[in-house]
Structure formats: structure tokens, C-alpha cells
Amino acid sequence: MTKVLIVDDEDTTRNTISWYLKKEGFQVFTSPSGEDALLMETSIQPDLIVLDIIMPGMSGLEVARNIPRQVPIIFLTALGQETDKLTGFNLGAEDYVTKPFSPRELVARIKVVLRRYGKSPMEDHISCPPFEINIKARKIKVAQTEPYLTAKEFDLLLFLIRNSNTIFSREALITNVWGYEYDGDARVVDTTIKRLRHKLGAQHRDCLKTIRSSGYMLEVITNE
Amino acid sequence: MTKVLIVDDEDTTRNTISWYLKKEGFQVFTSPSGEDALLMETSIQPDLIVLDIIMPGMSGLEVARNIPRQVPIIFLTALGQETDKLTGFNLGAEDYVTKPFSPRELVARIKVVLRRYGKSPMEDHISCPPFEINIKARKIKVAQTEPYLTAKEFDLLLFLIRNSNTIFSREALITNVWGYEYDGDARVVDTTIKRLRHKLGAQHRDCLKTIRSSGYMLEVITNE
DNA sequence: TTTCTGTGTCACAAAAGTGTCAAACAAGAA
DNA sequence: TTCTTGTTTGACACTTTTGTGACACAGAAA
């Protein structure tokens, strides 16, 4: 699974790119600030970073300077900031995209850079009986049925499937599925789990285990 | 099991951080004062310390200065104490978090620092015949069976397995399993042991030895 | 605009876990 | 044996945690 981290202070930009990349089967992480991005970088270890240069607080260039690891970066920049371009390439930038840009173009460039780095193409299908997930289409098949899941439901289930047979506290699920900055009641998880169980039907609702006073877990049969 | 020591004079701060960390599977110790913290540090040998700078009595910086061992420290500081920041980094601070802070952010930073130090939050499997413990799923296998254990039962058994063939007094078990702050009858241990024995069944209930007027011990065969 | 869908919050009911207690019981000392 | 001390156990009350339906609200769609 190829991980891409998007750093930009504008919500719309983040969301747009994120949406297009998810559709292509990437695992997407976003951060609205350079400071947070640095933290996330270490823990996520993304395969590529899309980095806005102009941000309040720490600039994209500073972020790039402070990343210890060698990771390809694509900078987003306003029209005609030629000096930045030079600095950026010195910092190991792989590419530049000038705002405003077409998301499709950005996705294409991301793919090019990843290919250059020998990253395997993104996964687009996961099989984890009884689940079959088509990531690009964001569709899930359980045994014969193909229940309709909303965005959050899908994300949560996908995360649990990727990490099956592991307990996650509500907090952990919040940070992994709802995201870093989400601040709200952790019991949304309960509600979403409930909705998922309902949609999975009597047959498979039991895959979603409650581990009392610890959290939730997706249990699937492992044939060791 | 990764140990984190939290030092802060405010009860709420201590408790909040503690709660979030425990949810993530860390073993948490807390201290309301710098003096105590120093004592605890030597006996506990935590993997990371979260240290408030401003405290009555000994300040966080002094504490840091007096810790002989090399251990990563994350300082908590009030907004804009820039001078402190410098001093702290000289004392080997790994990170700074400015109060007020989001607990989720702090947890994320703690994980980053621990990763940098090559510590992961949890091991995931223990084998100690006839016991097999899957920590990620909080499941325990005894010979063929897989008895359902409640949270406390699991914690107690896990502790005893980790420290098998060692006698613990009820008080010791209370502080290690129930936690420092627990104040209640130490005889809960008796009840929990009883419930465990019941669930282990006739085959293995004898692993849980009673050492009259000393405490309890888990006895397993060691083949040296 | 109005309508519809997805998402989060809340309050309450139901379920499950935990601690306390007292009586019955065992071990060891005198 | 008998006494004393410490342990086992079941019952019960109480607390915590979870499930669920109803509702509010925002943003997309019509």
C-alpha cells in the first residue's frame, strides 16, 4: 500500500487531492501545518510527500529541511516563485506543481515519481475472507452481498480489515480513521460500529468484536 | 511493555495523559512532585518521561538535571517560555509540548520519540507453556482451550505470567495490576485469583499457587 | 430554495465486570 | 487435638461500559 502525505494549510486543497488519490488506491494522510507534518512523517513513513511551500508557521521548505529520511517530495507553489524552485530542488524535491493545478495532473506526476522510486503500484484490492474490498471503487463484498457503506463506515471497516485481529481503543480508531485533529466524542466509534454491524447483517456482524473496556476488533479466521 | 512516567503537579493533567496512554497500551506511572519523580525514576526505569517544567518545589528542569540515566524526556511548558526551551534541549529534551495541549497530540509525539529510540509500544505475543498470550487481541490460550477472561483477570494473569515463578504479596499485585492510586480492599486479589482458577479449569488451576501468608505466584515448568 | 443523506451527539436501557462481605474451610503451631 | 490465622468461595450490590434509537445539523443534490 503506497502512503502519501499531503501538507497544505488550505482545507479545500487537502481534501481535493486526498479525494483523487484515495480513488486511485493510495493511502492518504493529511496535515494542515508543517509542524504536525513533521510528527506525522516519522510515525507514518510515507512513500511520498506533497508539500505546500507557503504556509503560516513553518514553511514547506523548512519542513523539507527537517525531514531526516530520504523521501520524494512534490512541492506545491504559487505561480512564478522561481527562487523557491531552486531552493527546493536543492532540498531534494522531485517535482514542482504550480498552483492552481489540475488534480489529475498532480496524480499523474505522483505516479511518475513513485515509479522512478520503484514503488510497486498501489494495491487496489484486498481479500480478507469473508471480505473483498475494491479500494478504487470503495466497494466491499461480504460473502454474496455488497452492502452500501458510507464514507466513514467504509474507512473504519477498511482500517479494521487492514489490521484485523488487533484490538483498537476508541481513541486509536479516532486518530487513525477520523484523523489527527478530530476533536469530538470518541463514542462516534460506537455509533459507526453499530451502523456497520447492522449493514453486515446477522451473518457477519459478529466479526466486529467488542472487547469490553479495551475497544473493538475485527476478527477473521487466520489459517496459520 | 513500555513504561512512561508522568510528572506534573496538577491532578487533572496527570490523569488525562495517563488515561490516554493507558488506552494505547502503555504502562503508566505518575508523580505529583519532582522529588518523588526522581525516586520513582530509579526504581521504575521508565522508557520515557513526560515532565512539567513549572512545579512547586523542584522544577522539571532540575529533575532532568538530576536524572543520571539517559532517558528521553518530553517537557510540558506554558506558552512562550522560550528560555526554558533552550535550557531543556541542552538537558537532552526530546520534545516540547506547550500547555494547553491536545492529549492526542501528546500521545502522537510520545510515539514518535519512542520510535526514534527503537521502542515500540507493545510486544505482541508471549509464550510461556502452557500459556500462549496474544497481546494485540488480548487472548489467552491454555493448552487447547481459550477461556474468556475479563479485563482485570487478563491483566492479573498477564502480570503473573510475565513474572512467573515469583511470589507477590496482595499489595504488590494491587499496585502492579490495579495501579498505584487504587484504594480498596487488597482482598480483591483473592476473588480475582479465584475467578481465574475457575476459568483455567481443573487442568491448570494449580499453576496459580497460594503461598500462605505471603501471597500468590504463577508456577510454570522451566526447563533449564 | 427545499429535500435528502451522512455524521455526530445525547440520553437511557441493558449488559457485563468488579469489589465487599461473611460464612465455611484449610493449614500449621502449640 | 484444638486453636489461631489465613484462604476460598458464593452471593449480592454497585459501578462502569456498551448498545441503541432519536434527534440535530451541515452540506450535497435536486
Query: Which structural domains are found in chain B, ordered by start?
Result: 3-116 (3.40.50.2300), 125-218 (1.10.10.10)
Q: Which of A167, A170, A180 lies closest to B136 in CB terms?
A: A167
The Å distance, CA of A209 to C1' of C9, is: 23
Instruction: Say yes or no: Cβ of A187 under 7 A from any atom of strand D.
Output: yes
Mutation for testing the A interface, residue in B28, B122, B136 having most A CBs under 10 Å = B136
Radius of gyration of chain B (CA): 20
The whole-angstrom separation of Cα A12 and Cα A29 is 14
Distance B75 CA to D1 C1' (A): 67
Which residues make Cβ contacts (< 8 Å) with residue A211, sequence separation at least 6? A167, A217, B138
The pLDDT of residue A85 is 57
Least reliable range by pLDDT among A120-129, A213-222, B66-75, B187-196: A120-129
C-alpha cell at B10: 496538577
Mean pLDDT, residues A180-205 taken together: 89
Q: How many CA atoms lie within 13 A of B66 on its CB side?
A: 16
Q: Which of B74, B112, B177 to mutate to test the interface with A (most CBs of A within 10 A)?
A: B112
Classify the phi-psi angles of B62: left when phi > 0, otherwise alpha if psi is within -120 to 50, otherwise beta. Answer: alpha
The pairing of strands B208-211 and B139-142 is: unpaired
| Chain C nucleotides with an atom closer than 7 Å to a protein C-beta | 5-11, 16-22, 27-28
What does the alpha-carbon distance between residue A52 and residue A74 come to, in Å, rounded to a whole number?
9
| Count of C-beta atoms within a 10 Å radius of residue A171 | 19
Q: What is the pLDDT of residue B117?
A: 72
Using CA atoms, how far residue B52 sits from B17, B73, B84, in Å, is 12, 10, 11
User: Cβ A172–B104 below 8 Å, yes or no?
Assistant: no
| Separation CA B88–CA A195 (nearest Å) | 48
Burial class (CB in 10 A: 0-12, 13-18, 19+), A103: middle
pLDDT at A215: 92
Pick out the nucleotide with least CA–C1' distance to A150: C6
b/e map A58-77, b = 16+ CB within 10 Å: bbbbebbeebeeebbbbbbb
B112 at interface of A, judged by CB pairs closer than 8 A: yes
Q: How far apart are CA A138 and CA B170, in angstroms?
A: 53
pLDDT of amino acid A79: 56
Q: Which spans in chain B are helix H?
A: 11-23, 34-44, 60-66, 82-90, 103-116, 151-162, 170-173, 188-204
Each residue's pLDDT tens digit in chain B (224 positions)? Answer: 788 899 999 888 888 888 788 777 787 888 888 888 888 888 778 889 999 988 898 888 888 888 877 788 888 887 655 555 556 566 666 677 777 777 777 887 787 777 667 665 556 788 887 888 888 889 998 888 889 999 999 999 999 998 888 899 998 898 888 877 788 888 999 999 999 999 988 888 888 889 888 889 998 876 54
Instruction: Note whether A175 contacts B: Cβ–Cβ < 8 A.
Output: yes
Which A residues 111-150 have CB within 7 Å of strand C? 148, 150
Strand D nucleotides where any atom sits below 7 Å of a protein CB: 5-11, 16-22
Q: Is B118 on the interface with A (CB under 8 A)?
A: no
Tell how strand A48-52 and strand A73-77 pair up. parallel
Cell triple for A192: 459507526
Chain B positions in Cβ-Cβ contact with residue A211 (cut-off 8 Å): 138
**For the segment B170-185, what is each residue's pLDDT rounded down to a tens digit?**
988 988 888 777 888 8
Q: Using an 8 Å Cβ cutoff, are B104 and A179 in contact?
A: no
Backbone angles phi, psi at B182, to 5 degrees: -60, 125
CB of A214 less than 8 A from some CB of B: yes
- Mean pLDDT for chain A? 81
